[in-house]
Every structure is written in structure tokens, then in C-alpha cells.
């Protein structure tokens, strides 16, 4: 599919976030060429009166000055080195990053100002930046999560049309882990009735261990307006037998209730314990304590 890339300057890089478990996010791009059918960002696009259907991901905003804008914000006296999540609303390692290297520039800025950050991506291109991730890890906490919700080829091809193969992401996890980076595997999202089969989930958990993932976390599919219509349209084409079930599961809501999600969470917990997911890195970076930590330790 043809993608239009629009080079535009941004006035700010950091976004204040509420109710998400982290306070700040950063997105070097707007829009995502991965075009995952389940992407929750489609819901935000619909609310903003932008296309959330098949047109989403065909026009990408490239924030050409994002690293400079970030550096200006991080040097402010009021900045408290709070944790920043990179990739909350777009993939920072979608293919265009290979040309613009904006995410790499942001990592350098975080390292320069000793700011902890995490990255969420489906892009194996992240291994290109192992050197700057290592440098940043010497200065502050760094986490990288690669999303591998399933290793089932049919599910992958139908739901993540613009992404690299999940096995390529596992290889990226291995490379980062061997390089000393704290790297997690994200089973996100798990699709009820499709990728929540225990055998399919066990395949992912074992592969995560073998690749050296330090941790596994997961989410179950949520379908806000915008995402829901698009996902149901593709579900009707690929798995028509599941459509009625999904319509009932998500009737009048975007998130599934705990009674639906807790069995999946319990099963993943069991699989992680059975397989033995833990931090096996032979190289570990230990950033120096922050000033407030030094005070607590009586060293300030």
C-alpha cells in the first residue's frame, strides 16, 4: 500500500499522560504503516475526525525536529527525569525510522540527560540502536518491549499486515538481551478465541524464554469505537464464525470484564512459571542512583 510521508516540525516532544501507568509519552511519528487491524490508536483517530479505517497508516507525519524539541524540554530546570514511554501511539521503529533515525536521536537525548525511558515496538529495526541503548542504560533505566502476540502465521498475516515476521522480533529480543538490554516480550493483544489457545500461548512463552526475554507482559484485545468497526470488518472476512461471539463479547463496551480476562491472565502466569521466565542476561547495566536516591541512602 502506498504511504505518504509528511515532514512537519513539532512544537513539543513530550506528552503528559493520565490513567495509563506512566506520566509521559513520546511519539516521533503520527500514524503507523504497520496498520494492525486491532490497533487501539484507531479509536483516537476516530475521535479526532481522522480516518480510522483502511486509510489509517497511509499518511504518516514525520516530526523532523523531535529530538531537538526533546532535548530542549529535558534541559529545563523543572524536568525531574520522570519515566517516558516511547511508542504509546505509534511504532517508533516502523520502516520510515530507517531513513529518518528520529527514535535514535531521542535515545541519545534521553542518555544525555539521564532520563529513564521505555520503548514499545513491533520493529526488529530496534537492534540497529543497540549501541545507544547500551549507553543510555549506563545512565538511567531503559526497557524495551517487543510485541509478539502470537507465532501463528495466519493470525499474524491477517491482523498485522505491515509488520515483520514474529520470528524476526524474537531474534531482535535475543540480540538486545545478549547486548545487556532489559528486553521484554509483550503478548499484546491476545485475541479471544484466536490467539488465547493454551498451546499457542505456550509456543510464545517458550520462544520468549529461548530468546532471552527478561519478562513477559500481556493485554487482551480492547475495541474502542473506530477500532471495533475496523476489526469486525476484517474478522468477518478472515474468521466469520467468530464474528457473532465478538459482537456479544464487546457489545456496548471496549474492554472485556475481568471474568473474561482473568482466565487468560491466570493461564499465562502458569505458563511463565512452568517455562521459567526470568532475567538471564550475562551483561547488566547498573545506572548510578538519582540524587534523591543518594539522599535516601545517606550518600547525598
Residues 205 and 263 in one domain: yes
φ, ψ of residue 220 to 5 degrees: the values are -105, 145
Q: How far apart are CA 28 and CA 276, in angstroms?
A: 35
17 located within any domain = yes
For each of the chain's 300 residues, which pLDDT tens digit applies? 789 999 999 999 999 998 777 899 999 999 999 999 999 888 778 777 888 888 888 899 999 999 999 999 999 999 999 999 999 999 999 999 999 999 999 999 999 999 999 999 999 999 999 999 999 999 999 999 999 999 999 999 999 999 999 999 999 999 999 999 999 999 999 999 999 999 999 999 999 999 999 999 999 999 999 999 999 999 999 999 999 999 999 999 999 999 999 999 999 999 999 999 999 999 999 887 765 543 433 333
Q: What is the pLDDT of residue 83?
A: 95
264 located within any domain = yes
Q: What is the pLDDT of residue 19?
A: 78
Signed CA dihedral, 228, 231, 237, 243: sign only:
negative
192 located within any domain = yes
Residues 160 and 265 in one domain: yes
Number of domains in the chain: 2
38 located within any domain = no
Query: Among 106, 140, 174, where does a domain finish?
Result: 140
Q: What domain range is 200 assigned to? A: 148-221+256-282
300 located within any domain = no
Q: How far is CA 114 from CA 8, 18, 133, 239, 287, in A?
A: 27, 23, 12, 47, 9
pTM, rounded to two decimals:
0.93
Amino acid at each position: 500500500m502506498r504511504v505518504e510521508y509528511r515532514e512537519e516540525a513539532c512544537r513539543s516532544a513530550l506528552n503528559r499522560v493520565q490513567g495509563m501507568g506512566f506520566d509521559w509519552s513520546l511519539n516521533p511519528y503520527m500514524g503507523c504503516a504497520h496498520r494492525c487491524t486491532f490497533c487501539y490508536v484507531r479509536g483516537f483517530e476516530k475521535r479526532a475526525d481522522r480516518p480510522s479505517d483502511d486509510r489509517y497508516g497511509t499518511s504518516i507525519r514525520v516530526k523532523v525536529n523531535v529530538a531537538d524539541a526533546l532535548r530542549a524540554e529535558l534541559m529545563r530546570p523543572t524536568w525531574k527525569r520522570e519515566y517516558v514511554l516511547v511508542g504509546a501511539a505509534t511504532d517508533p521503529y516502523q520502516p520510515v525510522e530507517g531513513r529518518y533515525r528520529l527514535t535514535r536521536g531521542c535515545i541519545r537525548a534521553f542518555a544525555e540527560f539521564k532520563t529513564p525511558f521505555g520503548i514499545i515496538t513491533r520493529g526488529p529495526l530496534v537492534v540497529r540502536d543497540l549501541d545507544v541503548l547500551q549507553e543510555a542504560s549506563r545512565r538511567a533505566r531503559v526497557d524495551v518491549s517487543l510485541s509478539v502476540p502470537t507465532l501463528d502465521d495466519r493470525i499474524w498475516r491477517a491482523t498485522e499486515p505491515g509488520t515483520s515476521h514474529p520470528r524476526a522480533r524474537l531474534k531482535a529480543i535475543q540480540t538486545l538481551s545478549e547486548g545487556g538490554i532489559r528486553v521484554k516480550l509483550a503478548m499484546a493483544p491476545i485475541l479471544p478465541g484466536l490467539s488465547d489457545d493454551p498451546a499457542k500461548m505456550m509456543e510464545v512463552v517458550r520462544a520468549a524464554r529461548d530468546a532471552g526475554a527478561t519478562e513477559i507482559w500481556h493485554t487482551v484485545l480492547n475495541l474502542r469505537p473506530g477500532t471495533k468497526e475496523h476489526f469486525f470488518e476484517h474478522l468477518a472476512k478472515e474468521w466469520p464464525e467468530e464474528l457473532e461471539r465478538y459482537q456479544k463479547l464487546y457489545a456496548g463496551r471496549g474492554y472485556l470484564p475481568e471474568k473474561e480476562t482473568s482466565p487468560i491472565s491466570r493461564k499465562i502466569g502458569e505458563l511463565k512459571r512452568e517455562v521459567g521466565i526470568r532475567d538471564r542476561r550475562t551483561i547488566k547495566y547498573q545506572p548510578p542512583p538519582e540524587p534523591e536516591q543518594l539522599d535516601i541512602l545517606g550518600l547525598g
